Amino acid sequence: MTDDGSGFRESTAINLNVPPDSKTYHPDQYPSWFPDDRHLAFTSSRAESADIWVADSLRKEAPVPFTAEDFIAHHFPAVGPDGSVVYAHGEPDRDLYVLDRAGGRERRLTSGSWQDTDPDHSPSGDDIVFARGGSWPDQTSLDTRLAVMTSKGKDLRYIPLEDMPNAQDPAWVARLGSP
């Protein structure tokens, strides 16, 4: 659908939580559309640990795994304009990684003792905003701060939010009517 509401098209409903061959409930969450407006990435625990899965909204086939490493969790997928997927890696490192749409090599974007989660690509795909939690030198408690970096994992900067020390789940918003 376009900004003015035109171009709406129907899509097949996707039942992500119950695979056709199972009666087992799998919590599926954090959906993110691919640029083709057809495929959907999401986190599911239908395997040994939480992984990123991809569903085709035009077919009634079961979703397929996009990441699948034994006992390593993958969360919070964010699909970029080029179809690459940024996601949070679970234990032990809790960093952000990127994987291209073809399922190529995983590349680490962040590292450190922080817990980096909730990534989102800018509309151009040049930057990534995310939540960074942990113990800060100027704080006595665990706070979450919002950070921005390039899609290559460079030029990290924090968004000043003094009034919101535990901001989470950031998202880019396109401004309607802006030049």
Nearest to 98 by CA among 112, 114, 110: 110
- The 3-state DSSP class for residue 89 equals strand
Distance (Å, rounded) from C-alpha 82 to C-alpha 16?
24
Distance (Å, rounded) from C-alpha 106 to C-alpha 149?
18
Domains for the chain: give ranges and CATH numbers. Answer: 28-158 (2.120.10.30)
Q: What is the mean pLDDT of the chain?
A: 77
What pLDDT, on the 0 to 100 scale, is given for residue 157? 93
Distance (Å, rounded) from C-alpha 47 to C-alpha 29?
14
Q: What is the pTM of this model?
A: 0.76
Q: Are 158 and 170 in contact (CB under 8 A)?
A: no
- For residue range 2-19, list pLDDT tens digits in order: 555 555 454 444 555 445
